[in-house]
Amino acid sequence: MNAPPLGKGIVDATLKCPWDADAACHWPRVTHSLRRHNEKQLASRACSSFAHKKSLSLEALQLQMRKYQAKMHPSTLQLREGMASKAELESWLQVAETFAGEAHTVCEIGLNGGDSAAAWLCSFPRASYVSFDLARFNVTTDAADFLSTAFPGRFTLVRGSTLATLPQYARAHPRSCDIMIVDGGHSLEVGYSDLSYMRMLARDPTRHVVVMDDVRCAAWWCHSPTIAWSYLVQEGVIREEGCLNDACCSGWCWGRYDLTAPQPAASGICGPPGIEHHRNTSTFMRRFVPHCRARAKRKFPNSSSIRIAREGAGHDDRSSLPGEVDVVNKQVT
């Protein structure tokens, strides 16, 4: 594992593999004391917010953001989606500081209530931050307003499903990011597409890092991101540098893209296109495909076969559970 700041409080834990009950999975897990340490570190990170004209702690800035969100939409403040835990977020920041150093641009999928965005903007005070989100909740649009004011000229929100927006953005701004975080939709379709297109954004072949959330944990929301991540690692598109697991319910991995590898093909109805024909498909992939097809069949009982969906059809994946087939544009024969 190549993560110097995290070296001490890590234990090797055995968890049940989400995709294969017979397999024993040994995943490095953070200990309670490291979690506490990370939480304290995060809270004390300093923010120099131009708009506030003074340095304040990240915690204080996040509190101000919550107050703003509550004032703008008192009835809808509740976060409807999850957010990275404090210990996890601190781990992402440490990994990024180690791998990408002085970053020019941080690109993150998943803004939600703006907590991770605030942490990136504070921790990389000279960097621009580009966020991709469906922005369907008031907390998200209010977070975007707050962050644009607090960090003038540094915050951008690209609204809409990344199935449509990310390929477009990547073609218009290739090689424009140093730190890439994937924490958006949790279906295989979206996870695979996000991770694949983020590669086009990596600026420097070695000084960049990609972090993916909800990978290698036992909870159901980690299933599809884990498959997407593992597939691209197996394909040589990503060189995994480390993974950590925080009890049952959260896990994250980080690594670098191999920019000499071919750009992965666009995603299909069951995730990576042609996955079922792939020679190197691992056991869990082979197990996943029949499951995926069975679900597709239930959605389209009258179709005899299911074709791969078009790239970038653009949809909102809020209703799909991880591992469920994303029916993008119902191309069935």
Ligand X SMILES: C[S@@+](CC[C@H](N)C(=O)[O-])C[C@H]1O[C@@H](n2cnc3c(N)ncnc32)[C@H](O)[C@@H]1O
Among 130-138, 167-175, 268-276, 291-299, which window interacts with ligand X (CB under 6 A)? 130-138
Q: Which amino acid makes up residue 174?
A: P
The residue with tokens 């009835």 is 75
With contact defined as beta carbons under 8 Å apart, do 250 and 211 qualify? no
Bridge partners (DSSP) of residue 11 are 29
Closer residue to ligand X, CB minimum distance, 3 or 117: 117
With contact defined as beta carbons under 8 Å apart, do 179 and 124 qualify? yes
To ligand X, the closest distance from the beta carbon of 190 in angstroms equals 5
Distance CA 19, CA 323 (A): 10
Q: Which one of residues 93, 111, 202, 327 is an interface residue with ligand X (CB under 6 A)?
A: 111
With contact defined as beta carbons under 8 Å apart, do 28 and 215 qualify? no
Among 14-22, 65-73, 107-115, 304-312, which window interacts with ligand X (CB under 6 A)? 107-115
Query: Does the footprint of ligand X cover residue 162 (CB under 6 A)?
Result: yes
Please give the residues from 46 up to 65 whose contact with ligand X meets the rule CB under 6 A: none
Number of residues near ligand X (by CB under 6 A): 22
To ligand X, the closest distance from the beta carbon of 140 in angstroms equals 6
Query: Does the footprint of ligand X cover residue 197 (CB under 6 A)?
Result: no
Q: Which one of residues 93, 190, 212, 232 is an interface residue with ligand X (CB under 6 A)?
A: 190
Closer residue to ligand X, CB minimum distance, 248 or 259: 248
With contact defined as beta carbons under 8 Å apart, do 139 and 76 qualify? yes
Q: Which one of residues 35, 130, 133, 257 is an interface residue with ligand X (CB under 6 A)?
A: 133
In angstroms, the Cα distances linking 316 to 163, 241, 268 are: 9, 31, 15
Closer residue to ligand X, CB minimum distance, 82 or 259: 82
Q: Which one of residues 13, 43, 83, 219 is an interface residue with ligand X (CB under 6 A)?
A: 83
Closer residue to ligand X, CB minimum distance, 143 or 281: 143
Concatenated DSSP letters of 232-301: HHHTTSEEEEEEEEETTTEEEEEEEE-TTSPPPPPPBTTBSTTGGG-TT--HHHHHHHHHHHHHHHHH-T
The residue with tokens 């204080």 is 60
Query: Does the footprint of ligand X cover residue 115 (CB under 6 A)?
Result: yes
Q: Which one of residues 49, 116, 230, 320 is an interface residue with ligand X (CB under 6 A)?
A: 116
Among 8-16, 46-54, 129-137, 276-284, which window interacts with ligand X (CB under 6 A)? 129-137
Helix axes 32-43, 58-72, angle to 10 degrees: 70
Distance CA 14, CA 29 (A): 9
**Interface residues toward ligand X, by CB under 6 A:** 81-84, 110-113, 115-116, 132-134, 140, 161-163, 183-185, 190, 317
